[in-house]
Structure formats: structure tokens, C-alpha cells
Amino acid sequence: MAANERQSIHGQWSSRWAFVLAATGSAVGLGNIWKFPYITGENGGGAFVLVYLVCIAVVGIPIMIAEVMIGRRGRQSPINTMRLLAREEGRHPAWQYLGWAGVLAGFLILSYYSVIAGWALAYVFRAGSGMFTGASADEIGGLFEELVSSPERLLAWHTIFMVMTMIVVSRGVRSGLESAVRLLMPSLFVLLVVLVGYAMNTGAFLDGIRFLFEPDFSKLSGESVLIAMGHAFFTLSLGMGAIMIYGSYMPQYASIAKTSFMIAGADTVVALLAGMAIFPIVFANGLEPGAGPGLIFQTLPLAFGHMPAGALFGLLFFVLLTFAAWSSAISLIEPAVTWLVENRGFSRVSACMWSGLATWLLGLGTIFSFNVWSDWTLFGKTFFDLLDFLTANIMLPLGGLFIAIFAGWILSRKASQEELAMARVWYDVWRFLVRYITPVAVVVVFLNAIGVIG
């Protein structure tokens, strides 16, 4: 069978737009809502955004095009796709281990991502019940500490979030994944716009806009460029099999390059809108735009607790956060589910049950690392920190690097040209980037992530 006649046994997106929504849902996650706005403000605002966009063009989009192309050409789980394409090119079957690495990375990430997403889910109910209204900073901090120090509470929210995720995945490509993203992604954009409108009335909207967009080239440094390159890679969900499996469901007529640009654009817009919603609220309340989950789970609840209609908009914000996490989670487990269906004869429902149970069990390690195992460390890291370091700093950059090498050096020019169907000049630009520039950039990201440089 010719590659362009292959069909996935799991189904296909109904349109290019469905693929864009799904891949954007995979890319947009918790990091977009707090990390990108913060690193932008700290590294020169508009000046950093310009550097970041260049990095997206050089690092993110070429690998995304490569990963989608590989997925659509193989039309199977990442493991079977890599095995099939390597065989067609007369290459060693060991390339299938790149597929294995992606599936494993998605599985490991979801095990702890589900726990953190459970925090967002818990805060939906806390915000909606008015728990933050009038609360002091110490009380808000106490609420967060009370949550993470309780294994039972974390277990309950982790379980609920995993069940939500597996219900969607068990329903298949059209009825599950596509139906979910058709609801979640427009809802996410609407919630963001509503929250930006709310932020415009805080009295500190211009302060937030200046923090995000005012170019300050004095804050740009070599470290800023490394941060931009790293985030450009990580924000698009590359190197974990999610984009590859979503690409395998992509209609043959859809342009891979155009959709990759649309996804990268939508991902960046969401991150900037999140900053426009968050920072005016932070500045209006005289708070510090602190990095990391603390901003989301401690600083913002304090702000919502002291603002008009804060309970309502706090509720909307944590619903937004949950939607962002949910749309990412369904893409993380999909590669493992498809492999079980293809290679072990599982039904989709039973594949979801077993992979979901395994993920849930591994998540217990993350839950306990915040409380009963908090004193247990390896190389100075808790169980959660180890998983986070292993996936984000080692597995994903190496996965992205080998995807670029496979697409640029192993897959024949004829095969990639046929799949991409781009104008000759643009194809040559992409091929040059993915063969020479992008791998070097990803190696730099990798070396910076493991502390060799930077």
C-alpha cells in the first residue's frame, strides 16, 4: 500500500480544523498559563517575545512539521510508525525505540501532570464556594499547604482527573478526542477573553501590558535566548509522541506546514492572553509576579479574594486552568492506548483502563513526594522532581533531536516532499533547518537543561 493511501485503524479527524484544535489543545497546558507570561516579563517583555518567535520558527515549527509528517506517513502508534518507516527506508529497526521513548515520556508526564491538574480542579470548587473571599495571605498559603500535605485529598483529585481523561480517550478519535477539543478549546479562548476583559477594569491593565510587551533590550541576555529556545521547544508538546499520534489521524489533503504555523500561533496567543489576564490582577493588588505554581495557587487566589466579583472570576480562571490541563492530558496517554490496541489486541476501552490504571498508580509517587515521602530524595530530588527532570530535561529534548534527525537525514527527500507537498523553496528552507539548524538548537536546549551550559 502506498504511504498516502494508508489509514489509521483508530479513525481520522473530520477536518483540518479539528486537527488544529486537538494539537493546540495538546500544546496549551499549565505552562502557558503561568510560565510563558512570567518569563516574558522577566526577560525584556516585547524584546523577549521577538526572540521567542524567532526560536519558534527555528526550533518549534520545523520539529512540529517533522513529527506530524512522520505520524501521518505511518498512520500508526509512534512505536509502529517508526518501525514501519525505518523498514521502508532500509534502516535499522532500532528507530522504533524513538517511538517507545515518546510513549514512555507521555506516560511519565501524565502521572505527575494529573496530580498538578488535580490541584486546579480542587481550586475550581474552592474559588466557587467563596473560600478565598477576604482571606489573608497566610490563610491562602495555609489552604494550599493543607491540600498538598494531605495524601487523601490529592489522591481524590488525581483520581477524578484521571477518570475524566480516560473517559474522553476511551470514546475514540471522533467521539472522544475531537468532541472534547471542539468544546474545550473554544471555551478556553472565551474564558481567556472574559478574564482579559475583567483585567481591563482592575486599574492596572497598562502596568500588566507594559510588563509583558514593553521591549527592554537591557534585560535580554544569553540566558534569555536559552530560555526562549527551551520554551519554544517544550510549549508545542514535541518529542512525546502526542503530536505524532495526532498527525496520524490528520486528513491527507490538509497542509502540514500551514496547520503547524496555526498551532504555534494559537499556542503563543493563548500564552500572551493569559499574561494579559493575570498580571493586571497581580499589579492591581500590589502583589509580586512570582514564578511557578505559587503564582497560580497562592498569589492569584489572594487577589481574587479581595476583588469585586472575585469568587466568580476566580472560578472561571480555575475552570480555564482545568480545561488547559485536560486537553493536554488526553494527548499524553493516546500513544500508549493506540499501541495496546494495535499490538496486544485490546479493545480501546480496555486499553484505556489498563494504561489509565498504570498512570494512576505511578501518580501515587508524586502525591507522596509532597507529604509522606517528602524527606526521601535521590540526587537531592524528590520522586516528583526526578520525574520532572527526567522527562523535561532529558527525554523530550532527545526525542525532539532524533525526530529532527530522522525527518532530515533518514527519511528520503522523495518521501518527505510527497508528504509535505510544499512549494520547492519552502520545502528546501524546512529541510535545511531540520537537518542543520534545529538539531544544533535542540542540543543547546538539552545541554542548558542538564546544567552543562547557561
Q: What local confidence, expressed as pLDDT, does residue 137 receive?
A: 84
Q: Mean pLDDT over all residues of the chain?
A: 93
User: Per-residue pLDDT for 291 more than 60?
Assistant: no
User: Per-residue pLDDT for 290 more than 80?
Assistant: no
Alpha-carbon distance of 266 to 23, in angstroms, equals 10
Alpha-carbon distance of 252 to 75, in angstroms, equals 11
Residue 230's pLDDT band (boundaries 50, 70, 90)?
A: confident
Q: What local confidence, expressed as pLDDT, does residue 114 receive?
A: 97
pLDDT (mean) for 405-428: 97
- Percent of the chain whose pLDDT exceeds 90: 80
User: Per-residue pLDDT for 449 more than 70?
Assistant: yes
Residue-wise pLDDT tens digits, 154-182: 999 999 999 999 999 999 999 999 999 99
pLDDT (mean) for 275-280: 90
Lowest mean pLDDT among 257-261, 295-299, 333-337, 426-430: 295-299
Residue 153's pLDDT band (boundaries 50, 70, 90)?
A: very high
One-letter amino acid identity for 380?
G
One-letter amino acid identity for 196?
V
pLDDT (mean) for 81-105: 97
Alpha-carbon distance of 305 to 137, in angstroms, equals 10
- Domain ranges, ordered by start, for the chain: 3-449
Alpha-carbon distance of 195 to 441, in angstroms, equals 35
pLDDT (mean) for 427-442: 97
Pick 342 or 289 by higher pLDDT. Answer: 342
Alpha-carbon distance of 354 to 30, in angstroms, equals 26
Q: What local confidence, expressed as pLDDT, does residue 1 receive?
A: 67
3-449: CATH topology is Hydantoin permease (1.10.4160)
pLDDT (mean) for 400-407: 97
pLDDT (mean) for 66-72: 98
Give Cα 250 distance to the centre of its chain.
19
pLDDT (mean) for 336-360: 97
H-assigned helices in 254-309? 256-284, 293-294, 300-304
pLDDT (mean) for 76-86: 98
Residue-wise pLDDT tens digits, 247-259: 999 999 999 999 9
CA distance to 204, 236, 303, 412, 444, per residue, from 330 (Å) = 36, 15, 31, 32, 30
Alpha-carbon distance of 13 to 19, in angstroms, equals 6
Residue 209's pLDDT band (boundaries 50, 70, 90)?
A: very high
Describe the chain by its helix, strand, coil percentages, rounded to 5.
80, 0, 20
User: Per-residue pLDDT for 43 more than 70?
Assistant: yes
Torsion sign (Cα): 179, 182, 183, 184: positive
Q: What local confidence, expressed as pLDDT, does residue 415 receive?
A: 97
Residue-wise pLDDT tens digits, 121-136: 999 999 999 999 999 9
Residue 454's pLDDT band (boundaries 50, 70, 90)?
A: low
Q: What local confidence, expressed as pLDDT, does residue 296 receive?
A: 84
